[in-house]
Amino acid sequence: MVITAHFIDDDWNLHKRILNFCQVANHKGDTIGRAIEKCLEGWDIDRLFTVTVDNVSSNDVVIAYLVKKFKGRNELVLDGEFIHIRCCAHILNLIVSDALKDLHVSIIRIRNVVKYVRSSPARLQIFKDFAKEDKMSTKNCLTMDVPTQWNSTFTMLDGAIKCQKTFERLEEHDPSYLPKDDIPTTEDWENAKVFVKFLKTFSEVNSSRFKIISQVARDIYSIPISTVTSESAFSAGGQVLDSFRSSLTPQTAEALICAQNWIQSKPLDDMTEEIDGTEEIDEEFINIGKEMEVVFENLNNDSMV
């Protein structure tokens, strides 16, 4: 669990500092609440204004625990009226995940062909040969996704689309190719292209949420001869770290992460630029939303037929 403090200094500069990077025994609300309380007490923080958490029910228990503990000591700013802030980035993730359900058939079919090529060294080599003939790069075009993580689905679709012609060539020349119902159609590929454009915007917005933790993951856990993605290094479903990096104690990992964050941190003077940039994002969302409406309308018409 990561606990980050946001505060304003005497010159009205906004700062962010990682206070703790620690293990918790379980994901129960009371357990997380006690861990946060212990962290704040360790830093002698006796005034609490807001706590921003993911939009999940267990965090309601966390907030209730903190209110109970701090309100009795008169340590809540404005009596805790604004203490519970739900993370907007997490809400965006939920929106994207929900939208993915409407295109699940197209996504499943593209996932099928990626998995089919990856499952055999012989097929993989044939695929690479076809790509070479077509002057196409196979880099990142055979990335498998984790269905519960929309950003990995974006990566898979984005890569597969670049090699669409190569997948179609393999289908023509491979007599043992997948059944017809498991193969992406032209419409599936078109749906994927529109949705990748849609997901790309969300990915750019969401990347700032994990900016610090991504840098930390690369610096501490990266291996010169292989790449461990930032997210998988902190996910139970991710790749397995080697024995050396897995031997880091929680205290050592916390010390490294906090030290790097404190050394590299600086006042967030460019907040205005980020706010201005949201206007461009809003316009892009509107345009992409119109394209998505057409796709969903076509899907609904097909299902009615």
3-state helix, strand, coil in the chain (%, to 5): 65, 10, 30
DSSP annotation of 197 reads: H
Q: In terms of pTM, does the model score above 0.95?
A: no
Q: CB atoms < 10 A from the CB of 57, how many?
A: 7
CA atoms of 156 and 146, how far apart (whole Å): 9
pLDDT at 302: 65
Reading the block at residue 98, the tokens are: 């929900």
**What was the pLDDT predicted at 280?**
63
pLDDT one digit per residue (tens) for the chain, 305 residues: 888 888 888 888 878 888 888 888 888 888 999 999 998 888 988 888 888 888 788 889 999 988 988 887 888 888 888 888 887 767 777 777 777 777 888 999 999 999 999 999 999 999 999 999 988 888 888 888 876 666 788 889 999 999 999 999 999 999 889 998 999 999 999 999 988 887 777 666 555 555 544 444 444 333 222 222 223 334 333 333 345 555 677 788 778 778 877 877 755 444 445 445 555 666 666 666 667 677 667 766 766 65
How many CB atoms lie under 10 A from the CB of residue 276?
Answer: 10
CB 146 within 8 Å of CB 133: no
